[in-house]
Amino acid sequence: ASSTNITDDINTWEEVNLLYNAALKQITTKIEILNEEFQEVHRYNPIEHVKARVKAPESIVKKLKRNGYESTIGNMVRYVNDIAGIRIICSFTSDIYRIAEMISNQKDIQVITVKDYIMNPKNSGYRSYHMIVSLPVYLSDRIVNVKVEIQIRTVAMDFWASLEHKIQYKFEGKAPGHINEELTECAEMVANLDARMLQLNEEILAIEGEH
């Protein structure tokens, strides 16, 4: 079968929805398999849970508008990288990099961009590891390469990001100064907590290794 760039030949929202849902199903299964294998080999579960969603069409249109693009199907698939999004929540920061590497090593997954907001947190204090990847979806008469945004973060980072997102939504991005300061401080506490929990876990693993 021939391979197609996703921007060719996609004309309706139904087609977009079908393709991105298919890509999400595939990547979710891949991640489940990696987690099960990891559990088998290392007796330990790197992933707490996984959430997948196709972005609501209203949110896609809003994003296009924000970036100065007309709302066409072509522009959606060309310029919006997170139509299909998957969030992987793990316990420890070290798991994030392990999972990212396992995903990158898969032959049919092409990593398009990586943004490491753990090494380089956003000004808000936001921490997370983002990858835009592309993977082939097999249809009856062609193969379509579909983009998926993968966000990988710890439980603590997710706790912070969820509340911050809710607050920014409520204040339409213009939260009062003291709230933003408090959020930034909390983000530092989250980073500190993650570092200490990781260290504790490593100490425990070292002790277990001696027995």
Where do contacts with ligand 0O2 occur on this chain (CB under 6 A)? Answer: 63, 81-82, 115, 122, 124, 126, 130, 161, 164-165
Shortest Cβ 147–ligand 0O2 spacing (Å): 10
CA-nearest of 107, 97, 90 to 157 is 90
The tokens for 188 are: 């530092």
Which one from 149, 172, 181, 185 is the annotated catalytic residue? 149
The gap from C-alpha 71 to its chain's centroid, in whole angstroms, comes to: 24
Q: Which residue is nearest to ligand 0O2 (CB)?
A: 126
Measured from the CB atom, the residue of 174 and 211 that comes closer to ligand 0O2 is 174
Measured from the CB atom, the residue of 115 and 142 that comes closer to ligand 0O2 is 115
Instruction: State in Å, rounded, how far the first CA of the chain is from the last one.
Output: 54
The tokens for 197 are: 């929990």
Shortest Cβ 64–ligand 0O2 spacing (Å): 10
Measured from the CB atom, the residue of 79 and 97 that comes closer to ligand 0O2 is 79
Which amino acid is present at 70?
E
Measured from the CB atom, the residue of 184 and 201 that comes closer to ligand 0O2 is 184
Measured from the CB atom, the residue of 33 and 163 that comes closer to ligand 0O2 is 163
Shortest Cβ 41–ligand 0O2 spacing (Å): 31
Shortest Cβ 117–ligand 0O2 spacing (Å): 7
The packing angle between helices 177-210 and 155-170, to 10°, is 170
Residue 98: φ, ψ to 5°:
-60, -45
The tokens for 190 are: 């989250």
Shortest Cβ 149–ligand 0O2 spacing (Å): 7
The gap from C-alpha 40 to its chain's centroid, in whole angstroms, comes to: 24
Does 14 participate in catalysis according to the annotation? Answer: no
**Residue-wise over 78-100: b if at least 16 C-beta within 10 A, else e?**
eebbbbbbbbbbbbbbebbebbb
Q: How many CB atoms lie within 10 A of CB 176?
A: 10
Asked if 72 and 65 count as a contact pair (C-beta separation under 8 A), the reply is no
Residues classed as catalytic: 149
